[in-house]
Chain A
Amino acid sequence: MKTLYISLKIFLFFTILTGIIYPLFVTAIAQIAFPAKANGSLIVKYNKIVGSELIGQHFDTLIYFSSRPSAISYNPLPSGGSNFGLTNSKLKHSVDSLKRQFIAFNQLDSLTEIPSEMLFASASGLDPHISPNAALLQTDRISKARHFGVSQNQLLLKSVNELSESPQFTFLGEARINVLLLNLRLDEIR
């Protein structure tokens, strides 16, 4: 019985300490030190929240850069991937048809090498990034759809260039570009 009482009391103690005080303490520091990030890196435009910098959105119109394929169509409830194995015929079919679509949609040469991330669904289904290469393959189509002139075209390429991120600290992770930020920038090109 003594063990039972001790167990109950110490369990209560640790529940209060690690289950209540610890998360509240971290929240307090986080909200003071990094309020924007702690609250989801939300992007506000014209007094409206248009999304989170970290959560990808579905883009399928001609006037925006497309994001990666997503097994959950960018609906975050709940996040996840396709979980297809490499020998799953559905995966093979999906890769083939995404390739055809990407080429047709962007009016590319049929032999163009498409960056892999545009053919495969991401792990979270919410991947906010594509590779800078994948963005560059889409600029002609966007420029045409938006009837851009020469100067606007330059701004477009400049945006891709500026928003492309190298690996963090030059060696961690991969080169990438945030699709939502890029498309927001795109809307500002006049």
Chain B
Amino acid sequence: MTTQDFIQIILFFALLIGLTPLLGNFMFKVFTGSKHIMSPVFGWLEKLTYRSSGIDPDEETNWKSYTFSLLMFNFIGFLFVFLIQLFQAQLPLNPANLPNVSWHSAFNTSVSFMTNTNWQGYSGETTLSYFVQMIGLTVQNFVSAATGIAVLLALIRGLARKTTDKLGNFWTDLTRSTLYVLLPLSIIFAVVLVGQGVVQNFKSYDTVQTLQGASQVIPMGPAASQIAIKQLGTNGGGFFNANSAHPFENPTPFSNFLEMLAILLIPAALTFTYGKMVGSTRQGWTIFKAMLILLVLGLVISLYAEYSTNPIFGNLHLMEGKETRLGITNSVLWSTATTAASNGSVNAMHDSLSPLTGMVAMINLMLGEIIFGGVGAGLYGMVIFIIITVFIAGLMVGRTPEYLGKKIQKFEVQMAIIAVLAPNIVILLFAAWASVSAPGLASLNNSGPHGLSEILYAYASAAGNNGSAFAGLNANTVFYNLTIAIGMMIGRFGIIIPVMAIAGSMGMKKITPSSAGTFHTDNWLFIGLLIAVILIVGGLTHFPALSLGPIVEHLLMNNGITF
């Protein structure tokens, strides 16, 4: 690594830390309904949304109706995206004349974009029309991210309010997140991306004659508008198959830097918003620090592994599946960030990363996507771990555990455990099934332990709603499309529903004033405990599987063994 590599990394983290309170404070104003910089710009649009949809913005609901609205809205989105794929050949804006999508791929893709996973079993440029990409997928990019924020807001209200069953209004949370946060950022970002060379047009694919006289078809489309929200909304579904490794999706090191920053920007800033909304910015920064430590830890291991030499390739730089303009450092920084946040866009092929770098990516998925994590989703996932940590700490000192003055009781712990177990069960059971069944094994691109890693990664990505892949695995089969779709649904709603139940039950509780015996949740001791709980839960669950995949592969590689 060179000095220049370190400068890029330091600048990246400095900007991330610097922007967190700025954007966090803005979002605090947006979500609490105060006046903010965007109100004069889009205030009329918010009113129009409510009027045209028949919403009373001041009506607040309990956790059950909040959740019901959320599920209903998500289901309609799913159904719409599913249907337009089945009939895309009959629909407009299909200059490449792409045929209708198969039912299982359409099912997988619609679940994938509804759940903010944006796993792609298909190749964008050869499967989906501009119509589906724009009117189906771009919309889900926005609203699935806004859904994540809405769940977080309901949870925050449950924590911050006392003795009430009112957790806010799903429709206003959805609308404000979309109009004031996601949309303005996306517009600015999309235009900047076009300035770097990302395509944005409705032309049909261009056929060119290359210098050597061959013909080459160059795909086109409204890419920049989708890429902007794909990065900002921790979506990650690429316009093109190679995602942000594609020169049209990520043409320059500068576009790469911005896209990387966009991955973590909103999830990081939400920790600040969280602190402000629960009445103590220290609580927000505590969570931020825990997340940052885990992220940097993963990054250090990844960089070390990727820059290490091995007996198979000697001292060659490991450029397989990486782009020249981006190089190794940017590829590794991205792979760590995109898996920590549940973004899932890639600028290098994760399948070709060195075993330990690939393992760090996988661990980021397996820990539950809580290292910044998805927009909204990362933070409510982290609160689940906070509840477990507080509970364990309470057991150790023999006091009723409390968080933010609220007693943590049996019900909350039960719900937290469900939320932790749901995605982990998906990963282990489905991966076990795929690794011993014929349709599971038929899709592998690599043999030996790396084959197991491909399967493990796929289900970890589904359960964590990440969407990145060890893309050698051919997942566009009935078996993988269906099991991964089910995994994505469990990984999304298996957490959202318990979190909403916790929000409901916390809202009903009284706030006990802190006393000398209160266990503080805003200091370094707590950060240490929280990180330990996260690593122990993740480690106990996944170490056996990881040892058969990336760990053994690493050892074999260091002995020069190939398969």
Contacts and interface: CB of A to CB of B under 8 A. Distances in A.
A85 B453 contact: yes
A50 B208 contact: yes
Contacts of A57: 210-212, 214, 216
Interface string B64-86: 01001100110011001000000
A78 B217 CA distance: 10
B69 A172 contact: no
Contact of B254 (A29, A34, A169): A169
B437 interface: no
A83 interface: yes
B4 A171 contact: yes
A54 B52 CA distance: 43
Given A86-B312, A126-B246, A126-B247, A27 B201 contact: yes
Interface stretch (B30-38, B286-294, B346-354, B499-507): B346-354
Contact of B347 (A7, A60, A74, A123): A123
Contact of B200 (A27, A95, A129): A27
A30 B65 CA distance: 42
Contacts of A77: 125-126, 217, 219
A92 B199 CA distance: 36
A131 B324 contact: yes
Contact of A11 (B77, B310, B318): B77
Interface stretch (B392-400, B422-430, B444-452, B478-486): B444-452
B316 A6 contact: no
B72 A30 contact: no
Contacts of B316: 95, 116, 119-120
A116 B318 contact: yes
Interface in A11-57: 11, 13-15, 17-20, 22-23, 25-27, 29-31, 33-34, 37-42, 48-57
A54 B126 contact: no
Interface stretch (B160-168, B187-195, B266-274, B403-411): B187-195
Contacts of A33: 191, 194-195
A116 B187 CA distance: 38
A116 B319 contact: yes
Contacts of B203: 39-40
B224 interface: yes
B325 A40 contact: no
Contact of A49 (B125, B208, B257): B208
B76 A6 contact: no
Nearest to A43: B208
Given A55-B248, A168-B253, A127 B201 contact: no
Contacts of A119: 316, 319
A138 interface: no
A58 B214 contact: yes
Contacts of A18: 138-139, 141-143, 178, 183, 229
Contact of A52 (B69, B218, B313, B355): B218
B200 A84 contact: no
A172 B258 CA distance: 11
A169 B73 CA distance: 45
A58 B316 CA distance: 23
A188 B274 CA distance: 60
Contact of B241 (A17, A48, A79): A79
Interface centre among B136, B203, B253, B321 (most CB of A within 10 A): B321
Given A27-B200, A40-B201, A86-B318, A81 B352 contact: yes
A176 interface: yes
A15 B241 contact: no
A37 B225 contact: no
B347 A30 contact: no
Given A76-B218, A124-B246, A15 B139 contact: yes
Contact of A7 (B69, B331, B348, B472): B69
Interface residues of A, number: 95
Contacts of B49: 10, 13
A29 to B, nearest CB: 5
Nearest to B196: A37
Given A171-B7, A173-B330, A84 B351 contact: yes
Nearest to B142: A18
Given A123-B349, A171-B8, A173-B330, A83 B472 contact: yes
Contacts of B254: 168-169, 172-173
Contact of B216 (A13, A51, A92): A51
A143 interface: no
Given A23-B134, A27-B201, A39-B199, A79 B253 contact: no
Given A38-B200, A58-B212, A124-B323, A89 B562 contact: yes
B320 A129 contact: no
A85 to B, nearest CB: 4
B240 interface: yes
A50 B210 contact: yes
Contact of B553 (A7, A11, A87, A172): A87
A144 interface: no
Contacts of B200: 23, 26-27, 30-31, 38
Contacts of A150: none
Interface string B102-136: 00000000000000000000011110000000111
A50 B248 CA distance: 17
B206 A49 contact: yes
Nearest to A29: B191
B28 to A, nearest CB: 23
B216 A25 contact: no
A39 B208 CA distance: 14
A91 to B, nearest CB: 6
Interface of A: 3-11, 13-15, 17-20, 22-23, 25-27, 29-31, 33-34, 37-42, 48-61, 64, 68, 74-89, 91-92, 95, 116-117, 119-131, 167-174, 176, 180, 183-184, 187
Interface of B: 4, 7-8, 11, 45, 49, 52-55, 65, 68-69, 72-73, 76-77, 80, 123-126, 134-136, 138-139, 141-143, 171, 174-175, 178, 183, 186-187, 190-191, 194-203, 206, 208-212, 214, 216-220, 222, 224-226, 228-229, 240-242, 245-248, 251-254, 256-257, 310, 312-313, 316-327, 330-331, 346-349, 351-352, 354-355, 358, 445-450, 453, 470-472, 553, 556-557, 561-563
19 contacts: A14-B139, A14-B178, A15-B135, A20-B135, A23-B200, A49-B206, A51-B210, A75-B217, A76-B125, A78-B125, A83-B351, A83-B470, A85-B453, A85-B470, A86-B318, A116-B318, A167-B4, A170-B4, A173-B252
Ranked nearest first, the 7 interchain pairs of A and B with the lowest CB-CB distance are A173-B253, A83-B472, A78-B123, A123-B245, A85-B450, A79-B242, A172-B253
Given A57-B211, A117-B319, 6 more contacts: A26-B194, A78-B241, A87-B312, A87-B449, A120-B319, A173-B326
